[in-house]
Structures are given as C-alpha cells and as structure tokens.
Amino acid sequence: MPPVSYARALAEIYSLDKFGSRPGLERISQILALLGNPQNSYKCCCVAGSNGKGSTVEMLGCILSENGWKTGAYFSPQIEEFPERIRINGKNADTKDLAAAYAKVKAVCAKNGIEATFFEVVTAMALLIFSWRKAAFAVLEVGLGGRQDATNAVEPEVSAIVSISLEHTGVLGDTVEKIAHEKCGIARKGKPLVVGQVNSKVRAAIEAECKAIGAKPIFISDEVAISNLKKKGRNYSFKASFNRSKYAISLAAPGFFQVSNASVALSAASLLGAKKGAIENGLRSA
C-alpha cells in the first residue's frame, strides 16, 4: 500500500468515528497480532476510572520518563489536536509516524476484512508507534469501562482505577457493582491494581472482583499516608508515604482532586520501580 499523507490519514481516521463504539477485544487483538504484537516489546500500565484518568496518565508518564525510561502515553480524547493522543516522553507523536502507523493499520485491516472502529485504529497506532520508538513503558488511558475496551488487549504490569461513579450506564451497567465489574477487567491475576479514593460500596465491589480475578488491590486510602497538606493558589503540596518510602510532593496540576490522582500515580510508579526523586520531579512537572 502506498504512503499516506498525514492530512489524508487524519481525514480517514475521523471518518471512522461515524461508525461509533463497538466494545470487544476480538478486532483489536487480531489487528495487533497481524502487526506482530508490538505491545509485547514494552511494559504497560492501564488507567481506568470515571474521572481523573487523563491527569493520572500524564503524571505517571512524567514520573517514568524522569526515571530515565522512554515512556509512551496514550490519551483519549485530545484537547486541541490529534497528536496529543500519542505522546513519548511528554512530546506529541511525529505526524510522519502517525501517518505511517495509520497506513500499517489500514493495510492489515483491509487485507483481512477487519472493520475496526476509530478507537481501535488509534489504539493500534499508538501501540505500534511506541514499539517503533523503543519505549520501555506505555501508560494507557482506558477509553470506556475497561473489560471490553481496546486498551485492554495489552497485558499490564500494573493497573489503576482512579475513581468509580455512575456513568455510561447504558453500556457499563446501572449500579456501581456492574461498573466496577467492567472497570476491574483491566486487573490481572497476581498483578497489583491501584485504586483511588472510593466509597465503601465501591470498595467492596472492587475487592470482590479482585478476589475472583486473583489480582492484588491496593487502596490508596490504606496504603498512602498524606500529611502537611498545603494549598498555594490552586495548587497543593503534601508529604506522602508509601511502601516504606517518604515523599515531598508539589503538584503542578491544579485542584484538590489532583491529590488523589497523584497518590495513584505515585503508588503505580513505585510498584513499577521508579525512584523517589523521579516520583517527586515527575509530579512537580506534570
């Protein structure tokens, strides 16, 4: 298949949006297999949640980059322009890479009769680009739910659920238990699942799901001790301890809710092996 310009690639990608969302891992798994399973060349972390996913992905990506690891971050949706969805060490993907990745994904879909959705195509593009750029880690923002989301085609080393509330009830279910079931689909047997601030009902649902999966839930309300919380303007600083390490955190991201997001990112980064300085500097710059 001949090269595709970035402008043409973008127009064709956006045209896929009219077909809507079709949950399920069959198509994305087939596409990735045909591409050589690029996601297996680096370690992954999936981040789900009703709110706060994007901030947490950005924080975790900054921390891992600060630790000296080339890190891909995948976001949905973009704020201003398409390349924001796929970033490496804090920089948007190159338009040449985006066009080339789209051409690859388009070719395998056309050759094998796969009618992929917008999100499936873009997810495959991200995972391919991270492989091309020899990323050590990829942090992926889950699009919708978790269990049937295209990002769940990877095998995460650590998963995270930032928050859970009633949302997308027509797809995910009309109770927090049903929504927890869908979001906990990103957890893996024997692997940690970091959980942000949740109420007791949601916690019980997550604990039941993790028990069935064999995952290891880590609730920040239990595991992250916060003290000396201070506010300057709209930004917060605080002391935190996790897993016998102590941190002095100053957040660049404004808003009190970012304290919880930062605690999730801190915990996940620590579990992935990031050092104290990288965690502090990453959260200061995110």
Q: Does residue 167 have a pLDDT over 60?
A: no
**218-272 pLDDT per residue, tens:** 999 999 999 999 999 999 999 999 999 999 999 999 999 999 999 999 999 999 9
Q: What is the average pLDDT value for the chain, to the nearest integer?
A: 93
Query: DSSP assignment, residue 94?
Result: P
Average pLDDT estimate for 150-162: 97
Identity of the amino acid at 117? T
Residue 131 contacts by C-beta under 8 Å, 6 or more apart in sequence?
38, 39, 41, 42
Residue 166 contacts by C-beta under 8 Å, 6 or more apart in sequence?
174, 175, 176, 179
Tokens of 244: 């016998």
- In this prediction, residue 174 carries a pLDDT of 64
- Quote the CA–CA distance of 157 and 40 in Å, as a whole number: 11
- Quote the CA–CA distance of 217 and 227 in Å, as a whole number: 23
**173-221 pLDDT per residue, tens:** 568 888 888 999 999 999 999 999 999 999 999 999 999 999 999 999 9
Query: DSSP assignment, residue 89?
Result: T
Q: Does residue 20 have a pLDDT over 70?
A: no
Tokens of 124: 């495959």
Q: Does residue 134 have a pLDDT over 70?
A: yes
Closest to 49 (Cα-Cα) out of 193, 251, 210: 193
- In this prediction, residue 168 carries a pLDDT of 47
Q: Does residue 171 have a pLDDT over 60?
A: no
Average pLDDT estimate for 90-106: 97
User: How does residue 145 score in pLDDT terms, banded at 50, 70 and 90?
Assistant: confident
- Quote the CA–CA distance of 242 and 19 in Å, as a whole number: 44
Average pLDDT estimate for 143-158: 94
